[in-house]
Amino acid sequence: MSSEKTGDQKLWGGRFQGQTHKLVEAFTASIGFDRRLYEYDIEGSIAHCKTLQRAKVLSQRECQTIIRGLQAIRKDIRAGRHQWKIEDEDVHMSIERRLTEVIGPVGGKLHTGRSRNDQVTLDLRLYLRDTLHHLRKDLHRLQQSLVTLAERYMGVIMPGYTHLQRAQPVLFSHHALAYVEMVERDKGRLEDALVRINVMPLGSGALAGNNYPIDRHYTASLLHFPRVTQNSLDAVSDRDYVIEVLSACAIVMMHLSRLSEELIVWSSQEFHFTDLPDGFCTGSSMMPQKKNPDVPELIRGKTGRVYGHLLSLLTTLKALPLSYNRDLQEDKEPLFDALDTVTTSVKIYAELMAQLTIRSQHMKAAVSQGFLLATELADYLVQKGVPFRESHHVVGNLVRECIAKGKDLQQLTQQDLLQASPSFDAKTFQVLTPEAAINRKNIVGGTATAQVTKQINGWKKLLRAETKHSVKKK
């Protein structure tokens, strides 16, 4: 046999006489990354073993022997004693190979009535069920940090922006709560994905089902699945649920990237709205004065990486015929890396936002420039009966005149206002303050102090209830 060939074909049966070429062995192996599924592979194998006994395919003694062997292997893996061999190719064959070594030929009976095709999608669904639960908890903690930040700086006024141009005054707390809303939708998308993840595929075999009288609903009950898949071809080739998760991850990262962009801009000397905690910044190797927002920049950069993972799997699946094809091995690396990236990013931001310092005086100074109260003047005229389009034109002229004279709207005299429109009066100046502008927005969803306070209290109550519910579920 040529030294260029290697690999043990025993697990593949009698179809092959030669050994796998060493290049092919390394190229096709997924054990380097799919071994993180070992807990779920063993959990699924134990349930399958019990189902085979229930169907009288295995005796009670054989079932007990196999389960004890699987539990011993799980213990060894947890302790770092298991040898992951590249010739085993993947986590499934590694565990099955070791099982046969531990308990003898009876270990070979475990694979009766299943294929790696339905086995791997089961493992992925079990893995995602756990992982998304933890990610949802991390998102919950990020919301708590944002709500706490909003409460801490309640009353701080900042410029609200459109087109990155100063537009109208808003409470900083209102701005922070906008991200709480985003994260809530992120959590909802994960919950939606779990509905379709939580379907049990085992029993579908390679593609056509299997020839043994197994009770798939019994297997599902052992693994806490509420439903079983209804079409074996679809079950082994479906990766919609992985795409859904990658899509949800991409949207989470998009939200974090928007937050990153704001923190990067706000922490610049040009804005100086925020001071990032030292533990989340780095210095320059050349310029001693620098404090660089590296963490927000990295998270902004990693967003593109997660987008790429979503696109890669969409591309992989776009032309696959039914049912299983080896291309589907390319689902795991993008999924694992995306989840690792998102989870770490969310955890970091939960800590960073808890320590963020807001420079309220700089925000207040920015509010006093840029004609942020122009809309208040236009709306005041509307309340006096002037059509909005006309009032918009009147105030636009005032702004132009102020720019020419180097003034702000608050520096105008009553005579200046009356020359612009006879509908102005002495009470006009009551609306020309940031506080008045904010508190006039006293409708649901507005930036008024009363509304934002109500939102903060509502979020605190909701997040506490979620925390209690999570503790009870444990």
* DSSP notation for 354-370: HH-EE-HHHHHHHHTSS
DSSP state of 321: P
Strand-pair category, 157-162 with 165-171: antiparallel
Judged against a pLDDT cut of 70, whether residue 64 lies above it is answered with yes
Is 163 among the residues known to form the active site?
yes
Band (pLDDT 50/70/90 cuts) for residue 1 is very low
> Residue 5: is its pLDDT beyond 50?
no
Is residue 152 within a helix (H) or strand (E), and if so which, with residue range? helix 116-152
Alpha-carbon distances of 425 from 395, 422, 429, 438, rounded to whole Å? 14, 8, 8, 21
Average pLDDT value for residue range 123-134: 98
Shared domain for 97 and 23, answered yes or no, is yes
CB 191 within 8 A of CB 137: no
Residues 92 and 123 in one domain: no
∠ CA 252-257-261, nearest 5°, is: 155
Does residue 425 lie in a domain region? yes
272 is catalytic: no
160-194 burial, b for 16+ CB within 10 Å, e for fewer?
Answer: beeeeebbbbbbbbbbbbebbebbeebbebbeebb
Looking at the structure, do residues 99 and 130 belong to the same domain, yes or no? no
Instruction: Measure the CA angle with vertex 365, ends 364 and 366; round to 5°.
Output: 90
Tell me whether residue 221 is in a domain: no
Of 45-59, 283-297, 424-438, 454-468, where does mean pLDDT reach its minimum? 283-297
* Residue 9 pLDDT greater than 80, yes or no: no
pLDDT beyond 90 at 442: yes
Q: Which residue has the tokens 């002495």?
A: 426
pLDDT confidence tier of residue 20, bands split at 50, 70 and 90? confident
> Whole domain around residue 394: which residue ranges?
374-432
Given 3, 163, 285, 469, the catalytic residue: 163
In this predicted structure, the answer to whether residue 290 has a pLDDT above a threshold of 80 is: no
pLDDT at 285: 74
- The two three-digit tokens of residue 205, written as one number: 């075999």
Q: What CATH number should be reported for the domain holding residue 131?
A: 1.20.200.10
pLDDT at residue 156 greater than cutoff 80: yes
> Comparing C-alpha atoms, which of 259, 341, 250 is closest to residue 293?
259
CATH of the domain at 411: 1.10.40.30
Is residue 245 in a domain? yes
Percent of the chain topping pLDDT 70 = 95
Q: Which phi and psi angles does 165 have, rounded to 5°?
A: -110, 140
Average of per-residue pLDDT values in the chain: 93
What pLDDT was estimated at residue 266?
97
Largest CA distance in the chain: 102
pLDDT at 4 over 50: no
Q: Answer yes or no: do 388 and 346 share one domain.
A: no
Kindly state the average pLDDT of the residues 359-368. 95
Is the confidence at residue 99, as pLDDT, over 90? yes
pLDDT at 2 over 50: no
* pLDDT of amino acid 73: 98
Mean local confidence (pLDDT), 346-373: 95
Amino acid sitting at position 108: G
Residue 277 covered by a domain: yes
Residue 341 and residue 383 in one domain: no
Say which CATH number the domain at 92 has: 1.10.275.10
Q: Are residues 295 and 414 in the same domain?
A: no
| Distance from C-alpha of 382 to C-alpha of 134, rounded to nearest angstrom | 51
Q: Among 278-287, 301-310, 364-373, 412-421, where is mean pLDDT lowest?
A: 278-287
User: Is the separation of the CB atoms in 102 and 73 below 8 Å?
Assistant: yes
How confident is the model at residue 7, as a pLDDT? 45
Whether the predicted pLDDT of 281 surpasses 90: no
Q: Is the predicted pLDDT of residue 53 greater than 90, yes or no?
A: yes
237 and 124 share one domain: yes
Output the pLDDT for position 15. 67
242, 333: one domain: yes
Mean pLDDT score, 17-44: 90
What is the per-residue pLDDT for 13? 57
Number of domains forming the structure of the chain: 3
Centroid of chain to Cα 1: 50
Per-residue pLDDT averaged across 67-75, rounded?
A: 98
Each residue's pLDDT tens digit, 331-343:
999 999 999 999 9
- Domain termination residue (choose one: 363, 387, 421): 363
What the block records as the tokens of 340 is: 């690792």
Catalytic member of 59, 268, 284, 470? 284
What does the pLDDT look like over 180-214, one tens digit per residue? 999 999 999 999 999 999 999 999 999 999 999 99
The pLDDT value given to residue 6: 41
**Domain for residue 368, yes or no?**
no
Could you tell me if 272 and 301 lie in one domain? Answer: yes
Domain assignment present for 404: yes
Q: Is the pLDDT of residue 233 over 80?
A: yes
Claim to verify: residue 75 and residue 125 sit in the same structural domain? no
Do residues 286 and 409 both lie within one domain?
A: no
Q: Which of 112, 137, 170 is the last residue of a domain?
A: 112
* Domain contains 440: no
Structural domain includes residue 471 = no
Both 347 and 256 in a single domain?
yes
